[in-house]
A and B are shown apart, each in its own frame.
Chain A
Amino acid sequence: MPKITFIQPDGAEQTVEVVAGWSVMEGAVRSLVPGIDADCGGACACATCHVYVDPAWLAALPAKSEMEETMLDFAQTAAPNSRLSCQLRVTSDLDGLIVRVPIAQH
């Protein structure tokens, strides 16, 4: 299974295995990674699954949908490397992906 590393604001790291085909958000929830609220459960409707993608990995990710783009555009703590983790589908290409969890989702 592909492995994804989540880094908390305090620097704590957690590397978890995620079933291929699931989202990065689902991987985080299944492994009890703190800080990913995912209120809408992945419907791209709440923007509480926001993460910052390690710059080295940005190019490997699929483009944002228009909906994700606008949801992020309105998130207060969004940066150019922000993504909604529920919209990132895990494949073997993403094995080793590193993302940072924001201080708060609300």
Chain B
Amino acid sequence: MSGQIVIVGAGQAGVQAVQSLRSEGFSGAITMIGDEAYPPYQRPPLSKAYLLGTFARERLFLKPAAFYREAGCDLILNARVDKIDRAAKTVSLQDGRTLAYDKLLLATGTRVRRLACPGAGLPGVQYLRDIADVDGLQDGFKSGIRLAIVGGGYIGLEVAAVGAKRGLDVTVFEAADRLMARAVSQPVSDFYAAEHTRSGVKLNLNTGVESFEGNNKIEAVVAGGTAHPADMVLVGIGVVPNDMLARESGLPCQDGIIVDRNAMTSDPSIFAAGDCTRHHGREGIEIRLECVQNAIDQAKHAALAMVGRAKIYSEVPWFWSDQYDLKLQIAGLARPPDRLVLRGDPASRKFAVFHLRDGVVAAVEAINAAPEYLTGRKLIADGAKVPPEKLADLSIPMKQMAQD
């Protein structure tokens, strides 16, 4: 198959699409445009080993330069697409260039949600999404400094763990009544709260940040009516999908570019993959996922659809987070009325929480528990029913869960 494919956004999903298009035999031209200074790189290490300083920048890149050369992909960096003309089938770059496409893939990811409260613009109030953000954080990341983290989600907590390890005086402010409330169940939140506290991180739950104070640089975080002195602030309160381009070109968007299960938008020439999309997940409910798995799998499906071999995207979502020596691995999507089944004792720092919906395994959260995670992922994919007593019984190995 030939023609001209243009990919907007040079990240995890974009690079996967290039690889999959070539492995599926697409022989036409591929151009990928990214607005960052770097070729596609992995973001997960940014809040983990890269911030810790044990992982050279060079290791972040997803592919070597030779990959783009050999794949015949024209990689245009430091360039922003600011308009799609669907009638003419062209995209315009901010620098004035116009590129024609037969098929277009939007893989524009997300940007950080910013705080708008008083003082939010003070130097020292920082965010974490890209390499430049971490490099900016590194300068002040020194033992003894007071680091305030706004938001007790994954990114805030991973940074808290790195900060504690590097001897910073870390305080977390979270408006909800528990940590990672959007993503994990209560027992897992409680476990992580205890682990952070044990490592010297001060947690303030139910505490929304009201403002920041300082003269030309951050000096204090005002939260819960009190001013907490701080030398540095990291805000991690979630992300917003980059769907403006699609929206302005008239494609349906709603907190993400709406795509079908073949990663196609309402325009059959335009596809979208990764963090920027909203799709009907395998359970038929609309979701927007922010994880490497979705970027990779949805991009693979977009590539298949673009070469005319569309296949329904129904992979089980999975995610991980590293905090201290704890590996949290999650598969499936939890929903509040799910029945929770605890397997193992959190005090052993190795346990899992299974989510059952109508008796069927719907999600698993595993802490230092690979067998639970791996079997759980398979049980979810198979739509398996497992009795809760059986799941909770440590004397039954995970490998036997699938059998009656």
Contacts and interface: CB of A to CB of B under 8 A. Distances in A.
Interface of A: 22, 26, 29-32, 39-41, 43-47, 66-67, 70-71, 73-74
B327 A70 contact: no
Interface string B355-373: 0000000000000101100
Nearest to B70: A32
A43 B320 contact: yes
Given A32-B70, A39-B293, A40-B320, 5 more contacts: A29-B64, A31-B64, A43-B44, A44-B327, A74-B375
A33 to B, nearest CB: 11
B32 interface: no
Nearest to B12: A41
Given A32-B70, A67-B370, A41 B45 contact: yes
Nearest to B54: A21
Interface of B: 42, 44-45, 59, 62-64, 66-67, 70, 292-293, 296, 318, 320, 322, 327, 329, 368, 370-371, 374-375, 399
B375 A41 contact: no
Contacts of A22: 59
A67 B368 contact: yes
A27 to B, nearest CB: 11
A26 B59 contact: yes
B374 A71 contact: yes
B227 to A, nearest CB: 38
Q: Is the interface of A mostly helix, strand, loop or mixed?
A: loop
B375 A45 contact: no
B300 to A, nearest CB: 10
B38 to A, nearest CB: 15
A82 B368 CA distance: 21
A40 B292 contact: yes
A68 to B, nearest CB: 9
A81 to B, nearest CB: 20
Q: Is the interface of B mostly helix, strand, loop or mixed?
A: helix
Q: Which 6 A-B pairs have the closest CB atoms?
A: A70-B370, A74-B374, A45-B320, A41-B42, A30-B64, A70-B371
Given A26-B59, A30-B64, A71 B45 contact: no
B64 A41 contact: no
Nearest to A43: B320
Nearest to B374: A74
Between B45, B66, B322, B329, the greatest number of chain A beta carbons within 10 A of the residue's beta carbon is seen for: B329
A41 B371 contact: no
B163 to A, nearest CB: 20
B374 A39 contact: no
A41 B59 CA distance: 10
A39 B370 contact: no
Contacts of B42: 41
A45 B329 contact: yes
B292 A39 contact: yes
Contacts of A71: 370, 374
Contacts of B62: 29, 41
Given A39-B292, A39-B293, A45-B329, A29 B320 contact: no
A77 to B, nearest CB: 14
A71 B373 CA distance: 9
B130 to A, nearest CB: 16
23 contacts: A29-B62, A29-B63, A30-B64, A32-B64, A32-B67, A40-B44, A40-B292, A40-B320, A41-B42, A41-B62, A45-B318, A45-B320, A45-B327, A45-B329, A46-B318, A66-B370, A67-B327, A67-B370, A70-B370, A70-B374, A71-B370, A74-B371, A74-B374
B315 to A, nearest CB: 10
A30 B293 CA distance: 21
Nearest to B67: A32
A43 B319 CA distance: 11
A32 B59 CA distance: 14
B63 A41 contact: no
A83 B296 CA distance: 23
B329 to A, nearest CB: 6
A41 B292 contact: yes
A88 to B, nearest CB: 15
A71 B327 CA distance: 13
A106 to B, nearest CB: 10
A91 to B, nearest CB: 16
Contacts of A39: 292-293, 296
Contacts of A46: 318
A88 B44 CA distance: 20
A73 B293 contact: no
A40 B399 CA distance: 23
